[in-house]
C-alpha cells in the first residue's frame, strides 16, 4: 500500500434496499482490505435481514439507540461507543429503538462489494 489521503468533502448518502441510508467513506482499490461506511437508520426502522458472504463486519455505534439481531445471539440493545462484531456469513439486522436517528459505522474486511451481500 502507498501513502494516500482520501478526502470525503462531499459524502453522498443514498437510500438502500436495506431500509437505511449509507454514505461510503472508504471503499477503494488501493485499500481493498477494508471498507468503511456510515449508516443511518430512521426511528422505528429495521434494516433488512442479510448476511455478507466471506466478509467480517463491525458496527461501531456513533449515536442513537438500537437493538441488534446477530446470528443466534439473543437481541442486544446497543448505544454510542458499542462495537458489534459480525463474523462472515452471519444473519444480521438492527432496529432503531430511539426517537433520533441511529448512526453507526460499518467496517468490513475485506472491503464490501455488492457481490458479498445476501438478502435473507
All structural domains of the chain with their residue ranges: 14-119
* CA distances in angstroms from 110 to 12, 15, 95, 102, listed in the order given: 22, 23, 25, 25
pLDDT over 70 at 91, yes or no: yes
Per DSSP, what are the bridge partners of residue 78? Answer: 66
Question: What mean pLDDT is predicted for residues 47-64?
Answer: 97
Query: The C-alpha cell of 6 is what?
Result: 482520501
Q: Taking the domain 14-119, which CATH number applies?
A: 2.60.120.10
Answer for the pair 71, 92: CB distance below 8 angstroms, yes or no: yes
Q: Which of 29-33, 72-76, 96-100 has the lowest mean pLDDT?
A: 29-33
Q: For the whole model, what pTM was predicted? A: 0.90
**pLDDT single digits (tens) 64-80:** 999 999 999 999 999 99
Residue 106: closest CA among 73, 74, 66, 98? 66
Q: What is the dihedral of CA 99, 70, 19, 59, to 10 degrees?
A: 70
Residue 17: which pLDDT band, with cuts at 50, 70 and 90?
A: confident
Amino acid at each position: 500500500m502507498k501513502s494516500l489521503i482520501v478526502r470525503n468533502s462531499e459524502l453522498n448518502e443514498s437510500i438502500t434496499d436495506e431500509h437505511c441510508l449509507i454514505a461510503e467513506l472508504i471503499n477503494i482499490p488501493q485499500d481493498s482490505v477494508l471498507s468503511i461506511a456510515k449508516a443511518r437508520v430512521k426511528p422505528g426502522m429495521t434494516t433488512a435481514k442479510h448476511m455478507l458472504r466471506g466478509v467480517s463486519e463491525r458496527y461501531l455505534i456513533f449515536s442513537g439507540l438500537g437493538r441488534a439481531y446477530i446470528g443466534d445471539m439473543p437481541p442486544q440493545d446497543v448505544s454510542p461507543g458499542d462495537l458489534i462484531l459480525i463474523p462472515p456469513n452471519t444473519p444480521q439486522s438492527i432496529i432503531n429503538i430511539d426517537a433520533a436517528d441511529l448512526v453507526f459505522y460499518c467496517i468490513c474486511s475485506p472491503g464490501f462489494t455488492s457481490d458479498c451481500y445476501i438478502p435473507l
